[in-house]
Structure 1
């Protein structure tokens, strides 16, 4: 199916009924209904069909297993996990396996979440430091059409806004299967000179795995003080996060088939992680008649120690022919990735309303800067979390400064355009060092700078107060790992390697419509396309670069519908379809020496994603929500396909007239044994297997049906 050739006919067909006032008379007679989240009316405000807002109410009603699933409120986004609960989720959107965030920019009140030159992967996005109950709203914008977003913006961006006040404070206790415990204290209070919002969260969890205790120990703290009103205000915010866990990683299919482990077993019980993230930020918002100034500054301190083992005994078989690690000898492929850094930056914008040649215009000029001072980003060989030797360990300083201009021009009452121009400059400085072979890795030290200019354009036509049409085009980009940008030698073999491109451009365009009918139905339809330049990617798990050798093309369709049936019932449905392919076939060489496999299918590009939900809120205090998420089979390396998967979650509760709220979450309601994620690569699990390993599907199954009960006292 070639969606491009159907784009104009489909859009034309959609426009035929737009002028018909199908709901006009009913809308005039209906009382005004306040709607939130995806049901909000963005006609006259959004600059593309792929922009949306999600309210706290929309987040609060959703049953979630892990914090990263908050991003699944973005239509088409899939959040999975191939490791322990404390690690960043793996995300999929618009035909991209985003890994942990390479091509999707996430921020919290303009403070970036994606980590550059990260030990585990470029753009690493861990949102476990967020307390969901303290989110005010989430805004998302898919595509590369927005001047205020720079790095990691190829597929889109999301900004999570934390609360400046809360309607109610609460003390909440949660209990569940597999030793799940959660305590939360959150609220706000007036200090006489402003508003103080606070939150403390503590969570323990063992998990359902047969031979490993996840031993999650998550602690979160949030403190924000705000002075002023909605137009003129100043705030200071502290966020603190600390976590440790053991990781039930993906496992090979043959280990389950041969009875070595169960589908919820582990081959290495020593993997897991420890991390913390502390930040201090401040925001200043000031109005000057029709102009508005927004300034935020931030400082972040971060640490991660992550132990993994994906190939088991492929590179380092045991000296005694047994899979038990030896004493003092390297046995097994366990490795550690270490990251220590401080980040400093600002985000400044000035919005000016004006009149040019009799037309109303809004100009926004902005400046952004970020400095990553990375004390260490390292890759170590380990045994039972003990360092054996170092593959590479680097100090990195990475600067990014940017300026942008966005012009919104109201040509007529119905037609407006939004033009954006953005320039970014990056400077990479790497000090390579290694205890094993300093002379070899010294050659991987170096500095490099590069700039990039990206234009954006959006056209918006308001057909009437119920329908709006959009056309968007723009360039985005992501930066590559600084180590790959300057390196000249492979850290393992010492052979010469090509350096990675510092900045990789994407080019995207889309057309779509949005409708808001009778204050009840909010829907959209988008046809989009995205091209990615050929690139070299730095792989944190190996400390080297990987060359795809070709460009790629993705295109697809997205449809959403959110229906406010009445004061009690709401329904929603989201569907996305994607075609994704390299522009040339790539070669996959099987470990067993059989004939190579050629394919242009992009591994991890999910063709179909469907999400649906029903929510009920009754006057007697009862409430409930049920959500279903499905994704289809998708390509893996070697011509294989990953399995499709469906999961259903349910939330039931009762709000007493007294300030008590009881909630029951049933996660994986139908006890699906679908797989959260699958990969296809070579590994070795015992000495009898060939030294080159065995190509196999490696997977992580859904956690089984589990019950979690929450009781909250509100004050």
Structure 2
């Protein structure tokens, strides 16, 4: 007798199995004549009533990731409702992220992990919290579990706006070979596979990508290589996973450009004023995780390298050789996490308790900033080595006060210690700090379909260690003030989730967040810029509707108000980079059987505030992407039209001073922008075996 197996991906197997059994959504078959049944679980369709801590928590499954057309790998974070992902430079560097009234730059105030490995880089050469996701292969992502707000004690640094835990798949739905060709020299070759013997499993994948881009004066010449190997085996009552990842990339880049250069006809909107920009990056990691009913453990070692050349102001600081600069970041990271669960019933109250510890050590052998000309060093702004250690203790309690009312309490304590060895001994030194974070919430199950939430919590982000030991400006030699190593954030929200098992998943939250200071180390200048305390609040709504098993629509809307709460009259009250309106919507047709599948997606990034007096605003950006494919037996052919209506909007905008050749020494304040990439067609063919 041959048993039919069910392949489930998108959420942890044990969790999905419990939901599937409870809701009778899948059945196994004992008929030898039936083929293997493959069930793709979509995270949005999971019933999180009674499972989640807030209305701002959710799960994205592999099925959803596979269906959505993506221009860049980093756009997988746009599955977090209200998140927008853009780019202001070459394809090889980290993206620019927007969420909850934050211009998160390259990741500050949003913590991202992949299989337990932290992605945000502390004290990084290009910016605090630098989050580069180019090493991911989207086809190997099993799920994204996102947590907006600072209400989760398992999450420490960069947790103000929220976090996302990305998990690699534990079970591929199929093996595949795929080739994608597109306009502007886009080429991608993908191979994924899975081998299983007894209870052991090996999952692997590889990706080669080339891309020249639409830029007039610069051929981007992206050369990306990714490789993943993942071994899973049962150990005791749980599962051990060991994962090796390797990534290498080099590219040329077209950075943001001043509007006046386009208006004057010096360049067009796809042109460049400095054609020597770009960089190279690499990341190699080895990680292990173990999970059973009581224990969760993980450990990792990461080797990361970045070499980046940029020029944003042209001839403002150096009228002879120009303002091109090089940023270098070379580091190794070691760390891990251990957590234990207990299930008790004091006074007859069913209670789950979790406690744990996480540690991380960054050995940054070189983090440096140099003046360059045509990628040749002509001067040193600063050249440092940093050793930064952190440890966090956390605990949480979930008590079922009644059948419908749950109380959640959490706390964590984080300690940081950093040593900076600078080329200027005045800026060398040690900094350390500790911070408590308290969190809590209530949830009330009104009915089988409706749950209400109230959540509150404290979070924090770390500042660059160099800013916590600095005494003099590395460029001018003038005395400057140090900044705190850790910065507090405090937030709360009220929300609800409505889940109809057949048709709809609807959630909404009204939230606010106070930040003690928006202090950031500015890697582009080698200095720390102090800022002021701020407050943000807003409303977020997410709705997912399934007309039938194959056809679905979704819509997400986020409205935010962000203001400084100090010195509002003198310096202006508006938080630079704030996006008041963000929206996205999609229509998806994904039948289980062979045939046509399609996805249409709209994303809207509203007008952005570019200065604290709101004298300058960037126009809104609207993009539409279309995917249309046909599956037959083991073959799948797909066409993607990115930027379907050929919008000439901007990916990102800034307002600052720069100087073109021949302009006055003080430069000109102007809008600087990076255009969205024009409409492009990509064709893919994949063979599943």
TM-score normalised by length of structure 2? 0.93
**Deviation of the 1:193 alpha carbon:** 5.2
Question: Match for residue 435 of structure 2?
Answer: 452
**Deviation of the 1:567 alpha carbon:** 1.9
Q: Which runs of 4+ in 1 moved over 3 A?
A: 28-35, 584-587
Question: Match for residue 201 of structure 1?
Answer: 207
Describe the superposition over 1:413-440 as per-residue Cα deviations: whole angstroms up to 9, x where unpaired: 000111001000000100001xxxxxxx
Describe the superposition over 1:430-471 as per-residue Cα deviations: whole angstroms up to 9, x where unpaired: 0001xxxxxxx1110000211100000011111111000000
The 1-side partners of 2:219 and 2:58 are apart by 39
1:601 partner SS = coil
Which residues of structure 1 form unaligned runs of 5+? 1-27, 319-330, 434-440, 588-596
Picking from 206, 213, 217, the partner of 2:219 is 213
- How many residues are paired up? 653
**Deviation of the 1:40 alpha carbon:** 1.9
Q: Within 5 A, what are the aligned runs for 1:81-92? A: 81-92=87-98
Describe the superposition over 1:342-378 as per-residue Cα deviations: whole angstroms up to 9, x where unpaired: 0000011111111111100000001000000000000
Picking from 445, 452, 457, the partner of 1:474 is 457
Question: Match for residue 14 of structure 2?
Answer: none
Picking from 487, 496, 499, the partner of 2:470 is 487
The 2-side partners of 1:191 and 1:113 are apart by 32
Matched, 1:649 2:616: no
1:31–1:447 distance in 2 versus 1, CA, 3 Å: closer
Matched, 1:48 2:54: yes
Question: Match for residue 3 of structure 2?
Answer: none
Picking from 128, 148, 160, the partner of 2:154 is 148
1:170–1:31 distance in 2 versus 1, CA, 3 Å: closer
Q: Within 5 A, what are the aligned runs for 1:328-477? A: 331-433=321-423, 441-477=424-460
1:313 partner SS = coil
Question: Match for residue 246 of structure 1?
Answer: 252
Matched, 1:312 2:294: no
**Deviation of the 1:379 alpha carbon:** 0.4
Matched, 1:573 2:549: no
Which residues of structure 2 form unaligned runs of 5+? 1-22, 28-38
1:495–1:299 distance in 2 versus 1, CA, 3 Å: same
2:573 partner SS = strand
Q: Within 5 A, what are the aligned runs for 1:278-297? A: 278-287=284-293, 292-297=294-299
Contact kept, 8 Å, 1:480 with 1:501, in 2: the verdict is: yes
2:507 partner SS = strand
Question: Match for residue 609 of structure 1?
Answer: 582
Contact kept, 8 Å, 2:295 with 2:339, in 1: the verdict is: yes
Contact kept, 8 Å, 1:175 with 1:708, in 2: the verdict is: yes
**Deviation of the 1:502 alpha carbon:** 0.6
Question: Match for residue 672 of structure 2?
Answer: 698
Contact kept, 8 Å, 2:40 with 2:173, in 1: the verdict is: no
Matched, 1:515 2:498: yes
**Deviation of the 1:583 alpha carbon:** 1.1
Describe the superposition over 1:289-339 as per-residue Cα deviations: whole angstroms up to 9, x where unpaired: xxx101000000010001000000101112xxxxxxxxxxxx000000000
Question: Match for residue 590 of structure 1?
Answer: none
Deviates more, 1:610-619 or 1:691-700: 610-619
2:155 partner SS = coil
Question: Match for residue 233 of structure 2?
Answer: 227
**Deviation of the 1:529 alpha carbon:** 0.2
**Deviation of the 1:34 alpha carbon:** 8.3
Question: Match for residue 637 of structure 2?
Answer: 662
Contact kept, 8 Å, 1:165 with 1:196, in 2: the verdict is: no
2:566 partner SS = strand
Question: Match for residue 182 of structure 1?
Answer: 188
Contact kept, 8 Å, 1:52 with 1:140, in 2: the verdict is: yes
The 1-side partners of 2:105 and 2:585 are apart by 24
Question: Match for residue 513 of structure 2?
Answer: 530
Contact kept, 8 Å, 1:500 with 1:535, in 2: the verdict is: no
2:345 partner SS = strand
1:569–1:315 distance in 2 versus 1, CA, 3 Å: same
The 1-side partners of 2:93 and 2:594 are apart by 40
**Deviation of the 1:608 alpha carbon:** 0.6
Question: Match for residue 556 of structure 1?
Answer: 538
Describe the superposition over 1:126-149 as per-residue Cα deviations: whole angstroms up to 9, x where unpaired: 000000000000000000000000
The 1-side partners of 2:296 and 2:63 are apart by 26
The 2-side partners of 1:167 and 1:81 are apart by 32
2:156 partner SS = coil
Q: Within 5 A, what are the aligned runs for 1:97-108? A: 97-108=103-114
**Deviation of the 1:690 alpha carbon:** 1.0
**Deviation of the 1:599 alpha carbon:** 2.1
Contact kept, 8 Å, 1:379 with 1:392, in 2: the verdict is: yes
1:69 partner SS = helix
Contact kept, 8 Å, 1:224 with 1:238, in 2: the verdict is: yes
Picking from 136, 145, 156, the partner of 1:130 is 136
Picking from 629, 649, 664, the partner of 2:603 is 629
The 2-side partners of 1:227 and 1:301 are apart by 26
1:485 partner SS = helix
**Deviation of the 1:212 alpha carbon:** 0.4
The 1-side partners of 2:501 and 2:200 are apart by 39
Matched, 1:260 2:266: yes
Contact kept, 8 Å, 1:470 with 1:511, in 2: the verdict is: yes
**Deviation of the 1:30 alpha carbon:** 11
Describe the superposition over 1:23-67 as per-residue Cα deviations: whole angstroms up to 9, x where unpaired: xxxxx9999998622232110100111000000000000001000
Contact kept, 8 Å, 2:394 with 2:413, in 1: the verdict is: yes
CA RMSD of aligned residues (A): 1.7
